[in-house]
Amino acid sequence: MTFDRKIEDAGLTRGVSRLTPQRIEDTLRQVLEGETGAKLKLYAETCMRCGMCSEACHYYMSHDGDPSYSPAGKVHQTMGEILRKDCKVTPEFVYQMAQIAYTECNLCRRCVHYCPLGIDTGYIMSTVRRMCHKLGVTPQYIQDTAHSHAATMNQMWLKDDEWMDTLQWQEDEARDEMPNLRIPLDKEGAEIYYSVIAPEPKFRTQLIYQAAFIMNEAGVDFTMPTSPGWDNSDMCMFSGDFEMMGRLKKIHFESALDLKVKKIVMGECGHAFRSIYDQGNRWDGWDMYPIEVVHSVEFFWELFEAGKIKLREKFHEPITIHDPCNIIRGRGLMEQSRKLAHALCDNVVEMHPNLEHNYCCAAGGGVINCGPPFKNVRMKGNRIKAEQLKATGVKTILAPCHNCHGGLEDLVHYYELGMDIKFFGDLIYDLMEKPEVE
Amino acid sequence: MNSIYAFVVGPLAWIAWGVFIFGSLYKVVSMYQLAKAKDGSSLHYMSFKYGMRSILHWLNPVGTLGWQSNPYTALVTFVFHLCLVIVPLFLMGHVVLWDQFFGITWPTLPDTIADIMSIVFVACCVYFGLRRFLQRDVRFLTTGKDWIALAIPALTFLFGVLAYHQIGNDKVMLVLHILCGEIMLISIPFSRLSHMLFGFFTRAYMGSEFGGVRHSKDW
Amino acid sequence: MLKRVFTIAAVAACVFLYMIPAFCQDEISFLKDPAFVHPTRPAAVFAHDEHNEKAGIEDCAACHHVWEDGKLVEGESSEDEKCSSCHQIKPESGKTGLRNAYHKLCSNCHIEEDKGPVTCAGCHPNGGAAPSGH
C-alpha cells in the first residue's frame, strides 16, 4: 500500500515530528481500550469487505473508482492497519492516517445507505481522528479553530465585546430598513434563544441581520446571548477533542438555561446541529438535549405555516436544493426543507440523487476547516457533486448549511458552474413583505 | 476410513457443535457486556421498532440504495445466504443423520432441488471469489481472513456436491465435506463469519440511530 | 494412506460393478422394501449371499433379530418376516423407524468392523436400483 498523495501541512508535520513509536503505541492502545468497545470490534470483525460502499463516497466517484478512496478502503488504510499491526505503526503512517481521516472523509455517512451490515464508517473515521488528536497530529487550520474554542469558547477568536458589538452593529444597520428593529440581548424568559456559529459575526454578518429582520417582522419573542456559549459551532467534535466538545455544548446549553428561554433556534448550520443533537449531547450524558433545539429550516417553516411570514413575491427562477448531511441524514428535515423551498420558489428542480441519498458537499466534517492546503482535495474529490449540480441546469442552489455553502461555492468556482448559492434566510429576506420606510 | 468417518460424525461433530454454540453464546454475551461497559451512548438508543424496520428493509433485495446500486451482487448475496441456510437444514442426508443419532426428523427438500441449490451456492462462491480478485475496490480491501471466510463455506458445499454426485472417492469426499462443515461451525464465532451472530444487531443499531434519533432512513 | 484406501476402493468398486450383472434374479441384490412408498434414493445395493460370505455372517439373527420389551431375544431370528412388520415408517416414540433400522443396522456394523460403505452414495449409488414401489 503506497500513499502517493501526501500534502504538506504544518500542523501534521509538527505533530508527527514529536512522535516516538512508544508514544504512538501507547496512545492508540489507550484509545482502543479506553474509549472504544463492542461497536468498533464488531465493525472491524464483521465488515465482509464486499466493497458495496465504494460508490457511496463522492471521493471514490470523483477519483474514477480509485479504491483507496472508498469508505471501506479508507478504514482499511487507517483503523484496519492499526488493528492488523496491533498499534505498532510508524510516525509516517500517522501522518497518512491523519490526512485520510481529516481531509478525505466528511463523516457524511452516505455510505450507511450502502452497507448491508450497518457499519458506521463515520464513527470509525471519527475514532481515527480521536487518535490523531491524542497524538497531537492535527491539520494546522482546524487545530487553530479548536484552540480558539478552548480559549474563547467560540470558533473564530472573537472577543466578548466584539460579539456584542457586532450584534449591535447589525441592529443598527437593520434599523435603516425597519426603524423599530431590535436584537434583544440576554433577555430572560424569551421564547427563543437564537444562536449562530462564530463565522457569522466574523464574515457572514448579513445572516444575523436577516435573521433579526425576519424574526422582528414575524413578531418572534427572541433573544441573543452576549456571554460565552452563544457560539453553537464545534470544530472540536471534528478534530477529535471530545473533552472540548463536551465543554462547548455544556456552556452553550447552560447559557440558554440561564436565560430561562423556551427553546434554542439555531442558524442554518449543519455541523453545529450534529454537535448539539448527536454527539456533544451524548458526551455530556444527555439523551437528547436539556432544552429543545430547533434548526432554522424547521423554524422558518413553522413561521410560514403560522402565517407569520408573508411574501411579496415568490422566487421565479428555477432553483435546486441541496440536502446537508447533518440536518437531512442527521435529523430528517427533508420534508420541511422541501415545503419551505416550494413555499418560497415557483420552480424547484430536484438534483439526483437527493434527500438522504444526496451527495456530500465535501466541505463538512471539518474538511473545509483544514484550510487552504487541502482545498484541492475537496475540489478534485467532489467532481461528482459538480456534475450533479450542473445536470440540474439551474443557476441557483439552496443550501441551508454553512459548510455546504462554503464547499459548494468553491466547487462552483473551480468547475466554473456559474451558479449562485443561497440560504433560506437569504431568500426569505429577499422575498418577504417589508414595511414601508419613510 | 470408516473409523475416520465415525470420528468426524461422532466426537468431532460434538466438539464442533459445542464450540459453535458455546462460543457463540460467549461471544454474544461478552459483546453485550462490553457494549454495556463501553458503548452506553450507543446502546441507549437501541429501539426494537426502528431496528426491525431497518432489518426488514434490508431483507428486501431491491429495497435499499446499496442493493440497488449493486444488483448482481445483491442477487448473488441473497441466493448465497438462502442456500447456505436452507440446504444444510433441510437436506435429506442431514435429516437422516439427525434421525439416526437423535431420533428427530423434519420435512426435507427433494434431493434434486437441494442439489441444484448447492451447485448454485458453489457458483455464488465463484462469483464472490472472482469479484474479490477482479474488482479493483474489492481486491484493495481483501485480506487473508476474507479468503478464509469465503473458502470455508465454498469447500463445504463443493465437497458435498462431489460426494452427492459420486465424483472422486465417496468416503473421502464425504469426510472432507463434514470436516469443512465442522470447521465452518467452529469458525462462526471467531471469524468474519461472526456476522451471522452480529449482523442483525449492527443493522438494528444503525436502524435505531437513523429511525429513532435522526428521523431518516438508513437504506 | 488415503491414496492406498482410494486405490483399493476404486479397484473394489470396479470389481463390484463388473459383478453386478452376474447376480441372478432370485438372489437379493438390492434392499428394495415396498414399505417405502416414495423412496427418495435408489434402493441400497446389497448382495445378500455375497455380503454374508464376505463378512462371515452365519447367524441369521445378526440382522434378522427379534426384540421384545426393549430387549434383544437371544437365539431367535426373524428372517421369515419383513423388516417393516416391526419397524414402521412412522414409528411410535421409543421405537426404531424403518429408515433408521436399515441405516443403523448397516452403518453401525460397518463402522464397528471398519469395512463396507458408510456414506450415502456408498449404499445408494446413482444408477443403482430404481426406487422401489414403482
Neighboring chain A residues of B41 at a CB cutoff of 8 Å:
282-283
Q: Which of B141, B192, B208 to mutate to test the interface with A (most CBs of A within 10 A)?
A: B141
A298/A316 same-domain check: no
pLDDT, position B5: 94
Interval A95-124 mean pLDDT = 97
Residue A259 lies in a domain: yes
A272/A326 same-domain check: no
Average pLDDT of every residue of chain B:
96
Interval A159-163 mean pLDDT = 94
Q: Quick check: A210 pLDDT over 60?
A: yes
On whether any CB of chain B is under 8 Å from the CB of C1, the answer is: no
Instruction: Look at residue A218 and give its three-state secondary structure.
Output: coil
Which among C52, C46, C55, C53 has a CA at the least distance from the CA of C114?
A: C55
Neighboring chain B residues of A116 at a CB cutoff of 8 Å:
58, 64, 66-67, 77, 199, 203
Of residues C5, C99, C104, nearest to B1 (C-beta): C5
A150/A299 same-domain check: yes
pLDDT in tens, A39-65: 999 999 999 999 999 999 999 999 999
Q: Are A146 and A28 in contact (CB under 8 A)?
A: no
How far is Cα B126 from Cα C108, in angstroms, rounded to an integer? 37
Given an 8 Å threshold on Cβ–Cβ distance, is A113 in contact with B44? no
* Helix segments in A356-422, DSSP class H: 375-380, 383-392, 402-414
Q: Quick check: C134 pLDDT over 50?
A: no
Residue C49 lies in a domain: yes
| pLDDT confidence band for C129 (50 / 70 / 90) | low
HSE toward the beta carbon, residue B15, CA cutoff 13 A? 11
What value of ipTM does the predicted structure carry? 0.94
Q: All 3 cell numbers of residue B63? A: 429495497
Given an 8 Å threshold on Cβ–Cβ distance, is B99 in contact with C5? no
Which among B77, B56, B59 has a CA at the least distance from the CA of B153?
A: B77
- Which H, E and C letters describe A144-175, residue by residue? HHHHHHHHHCCCCCCCHHHHHHHHHHHHHHHC
Q: Quick check: A438 pLDDT over 70?
A: no
Which among C116, A205, A100, C51 has a CA at the least distance from the CA of C63?
A: C51
Given an 8 Å threshold on Cβ–Cβ distance, is B67 in contact with A282? no
Range C89-94 contact pairs with CB under 8 angstroms and sequence separation of 24 or more: C89/C35, C89/C36
Domain end marker among A138, A155, A185: A138
How far is Cα A126 from Cα A145, in angstroms, rounded to an integer? 17
* Distance (Å) of CA A172 to CA A161, A224, B143, C127: 16, 15, 64, 98
Of residues B131, B143, B206, nearest to A112 (C-beta): B206
Chains interfacing with B (3 or more CB pairs < 8 Å) = A, C
Q: Quick check: C31 pLDDT over 90?
A: no
Given an 8 Å threshold on Cβ–Cβ distance, is C126 in contact with B2? no
Instruction: Give the count of Cβ contacts less than 8 A between chain B and C.
Output: 67
How far is Cα B59 from Cα B55, in angstroms, rounded to an integer? 6
pLDDT in tens, A173-209: 999 999 999 999 999 999 999 999 999 999 899 999 9
Supply the range of the domain harboring residue C110. 26-123
Interval A307-324 mean pLDDT = 96
Mean pLDDT check: name the lowest of A23-27, B38-42, B114-118, C93-97: C93-97
Q: Quick check: B212 pLDDT over 50?
A: yes
| pLDDT confidence band for C93 (50 / 70 / 90) | confident
Q: Quick check: C90 pLDDT over 90?
A: no
On whether any CB of chain B is under 8 Å from the CB of A342, the answer is: no
* Distance (Å) of CA C82 to CA B17, B113, C30, C34, C86: 37, 32, 14, 10, 8
Q: What percent of chain B has pLDDT over 90?
A: 97
| pLDDT confidence band for C39 (50 / 70 / 90) | confident
On whether any CB of chain B is under 8 Å from the CB of A328, the answer is: yes
pLDDT, position C25: 46
DSSP, res C66: -
Query: From B110, which residue of chain C is nearest by alpha-carbon distance?
Result: C40
Q: Quick check: C21 pLDDT over 70?
A: no
Given an 8 Å threshold on Cβ–Cβ distance, is A43 in contact with B202? yes
- Burial bucket for residue C22 (CB in 10 Å: 0-12, 13-18, 19+): exposed
Given an 8 Å threshold on Cβ–Cβ distance, is B166 in contact with C103? no
Given an 8 Å threshold on Cβ–Cβ distance, is A68 in contact with B192? no
| pLDDT confidence band for C132 (50 / 70 / 90) | very low
Taking phi first (over 0 means left), then psi (-120 to 50 degrees means alpha), and beta for anything else, what does residue A119 get?
beta
Instruction: Work out how many domains chain A is built from and give that number.
Output: 3
On whether any CB of chain B is under 8 Å from the CB of A114, the answer is: yes
Q: Quick check: C23 pLDDT over 50?
A: no
Residue A436 lies in a domain: no
Residue A54 lies in a domain: yes
On whether any CB of chain B is under 8 Å from the CB of C41, the answer is: yes
Given an 8 Å threshold on Cβ–Cβ distance, is B170 in contact with C107? no
Q: Quick check: C131 pLDDT over 70?
A: no
Instruction: Work out how many domains chain B is built from and give that number.
Output: 1
Residue C76, domain CATH: 3.90.10.10
Residue B198 lies in a domain: no
Residue B56 lies in a domain: no
| pLDDT confidence band for C70 (50 / 70 / 90) | confident
Interval A21-34 mean pLDDT = 97
Q: Which of B214, B217, B218 to mutate to test the interface with A (most CBs of A within 10 A)?
A: B214
pLDDT, position A391: 97
pLDDT in tens, B128-172: 999 999 999 999 999 999 999 999 999 999 999 999 999 999 899
Q: Quick check: B91 pLDDT over 70?
A: yes
Q: All 3 cell numbers of residue A20? A: 516516538
pLDDT, position C26: 56
Residue A5 lies in a domain: no
Shortest distance, CA B83 to any CA of chain C (angstroms): 20
pLDDT, position C18: 61
Given an 8 Å threshold on Cβ–Cβ distance, is B199 in contact with A117? yes
Q: Are A245 and A234 in contact (CB under 8 A)?
A: yes
Given an 8 Å threshold on Cβ–Cβ distance, is B69 in contact with A52? yes
* DSSP assignment string, A256-270: HHHTT-SEEEE-S-S
pLDDT, position C95: 85
Q: Quick check: C34 pLDDT over 50?
A: yes
User: pLDDT: is C125 or A429 the higher one?
Assistant: A429
How far is Cα A406 from Cα B167, in angstroms, rounded to an integer? 66
Which H or E run includes A294?
strand A293-295
Residue C84 lies in a domain: yes
Supply the range of the domain harboring residue B181. 2-20+69-187
User: pLDDT: is C26 or A351 the higher one?
Assistant: A351
Instruction: Work out how many domains chain C is built from and give that number.
Output: 1
pLDDT in tens, B177-199: 999 999 999 999 999 999 999 99
Given an 8 Å threshold on Cβ–Cβ distance, is A43 in contact with B42? no
Those residues with Cβ within 8 angstroms of residue A410's Cβ, 6 or more apart along the chain or in another chain: A363, A368, A375, A378, A379
| pLDDT confidence band for C19 (50 / 70 / 90) | low
The phi, psi pair for A62, rounded to 5°, reads: -80, -15
How far is Cα B122 from Cα A174, in angstroms, rounded to an integer? 72
Pairing outcome for strands A319-321 and A396-398? parallel
Q: Quick check: A128 pLDDT over 70?
A: yes
Chains A and C touch (3+ CB pairs under 8 A): no
Supply the range of the domain harboring residue A105. 10-138
A 11-40 → B contacts, CB under 8 A: 35-39
pLDDT, position C125: 86
Taking phi first (over 0 means left), then psi (-120 to 50 degrees means alpha), and beta for anything else, what does residue A314 get?
beta
pLDDT, position C29: 83
On whether any CB of chain B is under 8 Å from the CB of C121, the answer is: yes
How far is Cα C54 from Cα A328, in angstroms, rounded to an integer? 79
Mean pLDDT check: name the lowest of A242-251, A294-303, A325-334, C18-27: C18-27
Interval A169-174 mean pLDDT = 96
A295/A322 same-domain check: no
How far is Cα B54 from Cα A120, in angstroms, rounded to an integer? 14
Q: Are A173 and A209 in contact (CB under 8 A)?
A: yes
